[in-house]
């Protein structure tokens, strides 16, 4: 087998639990196909669908599966290699052999799916599927169910979505071990960035080093990395700037390990050996927000409240710098912290870096009674619900000084009771700072995934001093 699997009982148990949650109809789990990058046969790196990996494990293109919730029958649909295929790809186990490795006894040619689905629909049975995020799966489902392509997303089964979220949110021991490896490789990517960067380098040189570590560990990237001197731009994928003494480098990157479990870490470090005084002061604010967030992680705590606590720490820190004023709690309630902290505090992580986000973010991070805020800043909080043992998530507070946002709010005199706009000018070209770690929620608290990165000012300056000596 060209991919690694858990024991077959892991997959069988997961499907058994799923069948108990859904009492009628068929569950259709779509695998992902290869996707042409610039012409049909020149593919993007292959990524199997995470739900397919979770229930069926097989990390190959051209598959789909159906679970009959009434008979209990499970079928993997796919085609064995022809001689023409083998010439190009080499031999592989048969679909039946791979299915057996995940405790599935029935297989069928891929084209049979349509017949099975049409027959079920004719008998008045429901077809449960998740919202497809790839166009070719959307088109296939539209064809099989005989519905418009534009109607596919809203025809997805909310019952299936909620059932899957209620399983995948709680990581099993075997998964936690893989997440630990992914976070460990991710930590090595960041250590490499901190050890490799020198003033005068281009951002892309550091990015290349970061990527190398992921691939040299038989992994890949869990998302497109960020290596930038403009950390204030949250998803800054441009990496063509020269890194200069006196600046900071923000690196947000993570590995997917060979079983597709994701890590997602961020470090911010000086281009030279030391932070400037102002950089150090703001870094300490972010670190304080991070430390106090981690201290709150335990079952029963709303992640929304952890976010609000981080926001308050950032405001209190900014008050020390005389950039903010007034009552910190009132400033948080009003949303004034979003001058510096425009994004959320973190998200679930697992097989996906934003775990299960294809199923719909509100189903993962919120509940029927806890809805997402629409307030600027807090509306970007992907996870708000109460934490439970087995959840894995990121903690990633930051301070981002966005000149355009400063100008916009200043022009409106927005939150003038909380923001000292004159003092704010000192931070106009500050850029941004984020620190991010991945945690498992345990019965009594939390546990860091991977290994501890240098994070205090002293630790970061020490590793930078070593790198530049
Ligand atoms: Mn993240």
pLDDT over 90 (residue 454): yes
| Distance from the alpha carbon of residue 207 to the mean position of ligand 1, in angstroms | 17
Task: Domains for the chain: give ranges and CATH numbers.
Answer: 8-168 (3.40.350.10), 173-468 (3.90.230.10)
Retrieve residue 248's tokens.
């900071």
The sign one gets for the Cα dihedral 201, 202, 205, 208 is positive
| Distance from the alpha carbon of residue 438 to the mean position of ligand 1, in angstroms | 8
- Residue 413 neighbours by CB under 8 Å, 6+ apart: 421
Which pLDDT score, from 0 to 100, does residue 363 have?
Answer: 97
What confidence category does residue 57 fall into, taking pLDDT thresholds of 50, 70 and 90?
very high
Torsions phi, psi of 394, nearest 5?
Answer: -105, 150
| Distance from the alpha carbon of residue 264 to the mean position of ligand 1, in angstroms | 5
pLDDT in tens, 130-185: 999 999 999 999 999 999 999 999 999 999 999 999 999 999 999 999 999 999 99
pLDDT over 90 (residue 203): yes
pLDDT over 90 (residue 1): no
Q: In what order do the strands lie in the sheet with 106-108?
A: 106-108, 74-77, 64-68, 26-30, 127-128
pLDDT over 90 (residue 417): yes
Which pLDDT score, from 0 to 100, does residue 218 have?
Answer: 97
- Residue 34 neighbours by CB under 8 Å, 6+ apart: 43, 44, 46, 61, 62
What is the mean pLDDT of the segment spanning 414-430?
A: 97
| Distance from the alpha carbon of residue 400 to the mean position of ligand 1, in angstroms | 15
| Distance from the alpha carbon of residue 203 to the mean position of ligand 1, in angstroms | 20
| Distance from the alpha carbon of residue 380 to the mean position of ligand 1, in angstroms | 12
- Percentage of residues of the chain with pLDDT beyond 90: 99
Retrieve residue 237's tokens.
């994928």
| Distance from the alpha carbon of residue 402 to the mean position of ligand 1, in angstroms | 19
| Distance from the alpha carbon of residue 112 to the mean position of ligand 1, in angstroms | 40
What is the mean pLDDT of the segment spanning 317-341?
A: 97
| Distance from the alpha carbon of residue 397 to the mean position of ligand 1, in angstroms | 10
pLDDT over 90 (residue 223): yes
Rounded to whole angstroms, how far apart are CA atoms 433 and 318? 14
| Distance from the alpha carbon of residue 73 to the mean position of ligand 1, in angstroms | 38
Retrieve residue 324's tokens.
């903010």
Query: Exposure string (b/e) for 142-178, b if CB count within 10 Å is 16 or more?
Result: bebbeeeeeebeeebbebbbebbbebbbebeeebbeb
| Distance from the alpha carbon of residue 396 to the mean position of ligand 1, in angstroms | 7
pLDDT in tens, 70-127: 999 999 999 999 999 999 989 999 999 999 999 999 999 999 999 999 999 999 999 9
Return residues with CB closer than 5 A to ligand 1 (ion). Answer: 264, 394
Report CA-CA distances (Å) from 33 to 67, 134, 193, 197, 306.
Answer: 20, 9, 34, 38, 39
| Distance from the alpha carbon of residue 395 to the mean position of ligand 1, in angstroms | 8
Q: DSSP character for 298?
A: S
| Distance from the alpha carbon of residue 238 to the mean position of ligand 1, in angstroms | 18
| Distance from the alpha carbon of residue 345 to the mean position of ligand 1, in angstroms | 8
- Percentage of residues of the chain with pLDDT beyond 70: 100
What is the mean pLDDT of the segment spanning 332-358?
A: 97
């Amino acid at each position: 087998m060209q991919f690694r699997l858990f024991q077959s009982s892991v997959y069988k148990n997961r499907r058994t639990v799923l069948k108990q949650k859904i009492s009628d109809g068929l569950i259709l789990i779509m695998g992902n196909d290869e996707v042409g990058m610039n012409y049909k046969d020149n593919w993007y790196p292959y990524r199997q669908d995470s739900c397919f990996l979770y229930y069926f494990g097989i990390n190959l293109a051209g598959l789909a599966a159906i679970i009959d919730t009434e008979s209990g029958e499970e079928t993997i649909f796919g085609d064995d290699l022809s001689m023409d295929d083998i010439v190009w790809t080499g031999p592989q186990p048969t679909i039946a052999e791979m299915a057996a490795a995940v405790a599935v006894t029935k297989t069928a040619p891929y084209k049979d799916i349509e017949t099975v689905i049409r027959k079920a629909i004719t008998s008045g049975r429901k077809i449960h599927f998740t919202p497809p995020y790839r166009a070719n799966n959307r088109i296939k489902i539209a064809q099989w169910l005989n519905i418009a392509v534009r109607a596919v997303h809203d025809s997805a089964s909310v019952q299936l979505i909620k059932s899957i979220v209620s399983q995948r949110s709680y990581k099993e021991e075997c998964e936690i071990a893989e997440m630990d490896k992914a976070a460990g490789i991710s930590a090595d990517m960041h250590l490499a960035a901190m050890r490799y960067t020198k003033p005068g380098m281009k951002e892309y040189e550091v990015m290349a080093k970061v990527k190398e570590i992921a691939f040299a560990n038989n992994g890949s990237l869990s998302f497109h990395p960020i290596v930038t001197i403009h950390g204030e731009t949250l998803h800054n994928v441009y990496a063509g700037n020269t890194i200069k003494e006196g600046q900071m480098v923000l690196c947000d990157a993570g590995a997917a390990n060979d079983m597709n479990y994701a890590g997602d870490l961020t470090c911010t470090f000086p281009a030279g050996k030391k932070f400037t005084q102002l950089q150090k002061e703001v870094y300490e604010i972010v670190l304080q927000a991070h430390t106090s967030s981690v201290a709150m992680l335990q079952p029963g705590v709303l992640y929304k409240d952890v976010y609000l606590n981080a926001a308050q720490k950032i405001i209190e820190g900014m008050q020390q710098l005389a950039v903010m004023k007034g009552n910190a709690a009132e400033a948080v309630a009003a949303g004034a912290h979003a001058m510096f902290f425009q994004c959320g505090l973190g998200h679930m992580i697992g097989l996906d870096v934003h775990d299960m986000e294809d199923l719909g973010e509100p189903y993962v991070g919120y509940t029927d009674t806890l809805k997402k805020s629409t307030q600027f800043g807090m509306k970007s909080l992907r996870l708000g619900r109460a934490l439970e043992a087995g959840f894995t998530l990121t903690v990633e507070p930051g301070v981002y000084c966005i000149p355009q946002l400063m100008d916009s709010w200043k022009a409106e005199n927005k939150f003038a009771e909380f923001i000292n706009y004159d003092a704010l000018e000192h931070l106009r070209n500050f850029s941004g700072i984020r620190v991010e770690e991945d945690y498992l929620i345990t019965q009594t608290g939390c546990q860091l995934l991977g290994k501890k990165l240098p994070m205090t000012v002293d630790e970061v300056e020490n590793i930078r001093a070593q790198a530049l000596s």
